[in-house]
A and B are shown apart, each in its own frame.
Chain A
Amino acid sequence: MLSGWGRVFGPGREVASEDIEAITREATLTRGLARSYGDSSLPHPDDGVVASCRLADRILSFDETSGSGILRAEAGFSLLQLNRTFWRRNFAAPVGPGTQFITLGGMVSADVHGKDHHATGSFGAHVREMRMRLASGDIVTASRTENADLFKATIGGMGLLGHILDVTFKMPRVPSAWVAIETERMPDIDAYLAGLKEAARRFPFTMGWIDTLGASGSLGRGVLMRGRWASAEEARPGVPQPLIRPGLPVVLPDFVISRLTVSLFNAFFYGIHSSKATRKIEHPETFFYPLDAIRNWNRLYGSRGFTQYQCVIPEATGPEGVKSFLNLLRRTGGSSMLSVIKDCGEEGEGLLSFPMKGTTVALDLPVRDDTQSIVDTLNAHLIELGGRVYLAKDRFTKAADYRGMEKRLDAWREIKQKYDPKGRLRSAQSARLALT
């Protein structure tokens, strides 16, 4: 049995090797560290086997002569390794996603974004080229000049165009690896959204947490965080050392995450933060990857697991769009322990890439009997608003709903048809969403 990060299991087994060319020869899908929440990294039920690139993690070359860093590494090279290797040389990843436990192959396939999306776009924007094994078995290069259609369809393409073997991308030089941050409490959703917009003009990193259970007056009250790389003078001495990460030894019982505990947690989290902006120099792991602090925090959600519902609501709908969505969430009875809201910049070049200009909302929902109907209800409204869900998180969206929210699907399918006419490369998710 295999699962994504949400611990909703499906049939399948993994084959891992340092030799990525060998394991991708027969495979119909490659996965990395399996941090996508849903079924993106699970094999199609008829295939049963998925290649894992996690052991193919070599750096192939690094060039810093141009000022920024150009790194070429195998698909299994992780963000964790990148940070450990390059923070001490004053280079950082081009985007700041919420976990370090992801591979380059996954970062391309999900076209990951981070707290800096409004400033730097998603990961695909920084990729120069990839070496890929196609469904035919041939190995080709994809870039903006070579097989450009393949390149565009692979960024955010959930690994369905070909197995990514290695990735070449650009990393910015940073003044230090420490982060100068400001944290401020926001009384309601209007203040929060206005605060995000204002912060985006001054800071490369913005994000925050909101309370989705608050009474109507305080709907969307939350804590807004903004940050930037600290200058060499501001930085704490030395290179940030890896933090100790305890794990949850057991899967907690299902009742641990309930409406009551969620509202208590949210009230507590709101309460401990100040309504005035507080500034400090923070460890980058604490700022970028707060959830990595507990190794397997997904065990918190009990035996049935959880799903993350992450969507983006277009800017054209204004704050009213976000508010109508949060009100609907409250009516469905869905209670999300950690709800994260941030604004996205322009849509990237990846044809199935998630972010678009607007506001993204991420909700952690424990799997219960009504999860499917909650997701269906939210999706119906999301389609009206013109938004879309993030495939790397999704487990419950229905094929018809996905079609309704993804206008670029036909263009993507045409390229998929060209590079994989028999539809050999597939996943449990691609079958569920009828992507191919």
Chain B
Amino acid sequence: MLGATRGIGRSLARLIAARGDSIHVLARNADDAAKCAEDLKVRGAAAVSVGVCDLMAPTTFATAMDAADTALGGFDTVVMSAGIFGTQDELGADRARAAAVMTANFTNTILFCEEARVRLLARGGGRLAVFSSVAGERGRKPVVIYGSTKAGLSHYLEGLDHLHRADGLITTCIKPGFVRTAMTQKLKEPPFAGDPDDVAKTVLSAILRGAPVVYAPPIWALVMMVIRLLPRAVMRAVKF
């Protein structure tokens, strides 16, 4: 798991730990990874190992994943929940930050998935679960750049699922709606906001049944269906 130290990833890792699974935690900061591991161990994980992996340094992905493979004796599932958020106000005003968001959420996330893909396919398949976002469903005013990174990622995940499901590689594209985490605390809370622990439950059950796409909280599937149907003129007129 990359991204298990914070937010929804943290909640999801705890649910997986409570099942008694073995987990390899990848994190940018070694101390953070170690604390995360201890937490997951007490919460019921059969075994937890850690490795350092920085989403901004794609050259480290292969080594980190090999180490995970060794520690777990061959993993069967890869969960990726790391990413960077920024509102359009923030990213529109800061080119370097915009570049970092695009690199992290699109380029490097896909490079990470590619490392997972080759390893899982080599052993006859497995599960790849990646956090995209409902922000990638339509071009919207408050999240123009962030939304486009998630749109690109969602397309990649859909394509990958079409290409390899028959080979046993099951890809789940996770699209959280508004979830109350540290990432969203500065935003105005819309209706249907969810809590990370509840969202993680929905996500875990989708991963386990091999759903290609999951909206969480589930009501967001309906919300986004409506938003996808809105004419351009409406999207241009509204603030969201």
Q: Spell out A's residues near B (CB within 8 Å).
A: 14-18, 55, 58-62, 84-85
A sample of 23 inter-chain contacts (CB < 8 A) reads A14-B185, A15-B185, A18-B5, A18-B6, A18-B10, A55-B181, A55-B182, A58-B36, A58-B39, A59-B39, A59-B42, A59-B43, A60-B35, A60-B38, A60-B39, A61-B38, A61-B42, A62-B42, A84-B18, A85-B18, A85-B42, A85-B43, A85-B44
Q: Which residues of A contact B35 (CB under 8 A)?
A: 58, 60
Query: A26 CA to B54 CA in the complex, in Å?
Result: 28
Contact with A16, one of B10, B42, B185 (Cβ below 8 angstroms): B185
**Closest Cβ neighbor of B6 among chain A residues:** A18
Q: Which residues of A contact B6 (CB under 8 A)?
A: 18
Q: How large is the interface on B (under 10, 10 to 19, 20 to 34, 35 or more residues)?
A: 10 to 19
Shortest C-beta distance, A10 to chain B (Å), equals 19
Query: A85 CA to B45 CA in the complex, in Å?
Result: 11
Q: Spell out B's residues near A (CB within 8 Å).
A: 5-7, 10, 18, 35-36, 38-39, 42-44, 181-182, 185
Q: Which residues of B contact A61 (CB under 8 A)?
A: 38, 42
Query: A84 CA to B38 CA in the complex, in Å?
Result: 17
Q: Which residues of B contact A84 (CB under 8 A)?
A: 18
**Closest Cβ neighbor of A86 among chain B residues:** B42
Query: A14 CA to B182 CA in the complex, in Å?
Result: 11
Query: A189 CA to B75 CA in the complex, in Å?
Result: 64
Q: B182, A17: Cβ atoms under 8 Å?
A: yes
Which of B18, B36, B181, B182 has the most A CB atoms < 10 Å from its CB?
A: B182
Q: Which residues of B contact A85 (CB under 8 A)?
A: 18, 42-44
**Closest Cβ neighbor of A63 among chain B residues:** B42
Question: Told that A18-B7, A18-B182, A62-B42 touch, could you supply 17 new A-B pairs with CB distance under 8 A?
Answer: A15-B185, A16-B185, A17-B182, A18-B5, A55-B182, A58-B36, A58-B38, A58-B39, A59-B38, A59-B43, A60-B38, A60-B39, A61-B38, A61-B42, A85-B18, A85-B43, A85-B44
Query: A381 CA to B182 CA in the complex, in Å?
Result: 46
Query: A61 CA to B44 CA in the complex, in Å?
Result: 13
Q: Which residues of B contact A14 (CB under 8 A)?
A: 185
Q: Which residues of B contact A16 (CB under 8 A)?
A: 182, 185
**Closest Cβ neighbor of A23 among chain B residues:** B182
Shortest C-beta distance, B198 to chain A (Å), equals 11
Shortest C-beta distance, A76 to chain B (Å), equals 12
Query: A84 CA to B14 CA in the complex, in Å?
Result: 11
Shortest C-beta distance, A83 to chain B (Å), equals 13
Shortest C-beta distance, A405 to chain B (Å), equals 38
Shortest C-beta distance, A18 to chain B (Å), equals 5
Query: A18 CA to B13 CA in the complex, in Å?
Result: 15
Which of B42, B43, B181 has the most A CB atoms < 10 Å from its CB?
A: B42
Shortest C-beta distance, A61 to chain B (Å), equals 6
Q: Which residues of B contact A62 (CB under 8 A)?
A: 42
Query: A18 CA to B14 CA in the complex, in Å?
Result: 15
Shortest C-beta distance, A12 to chain B (Å), equals 14
Q: 4 tightest A-B contacts by CB?
A: A58-B39, A59-B42, A62-B42, A59-B39
**Closest Cβ neighbor of B17 among chain A residues:** A85
Shortest C-beta distance, B152 to chain A (Å), equals 27
Shortest C-beta distance, A138 to chain B (Å), equals 20
Q: Which residues of A contact B44 (CB under 8 A)?
A: 85
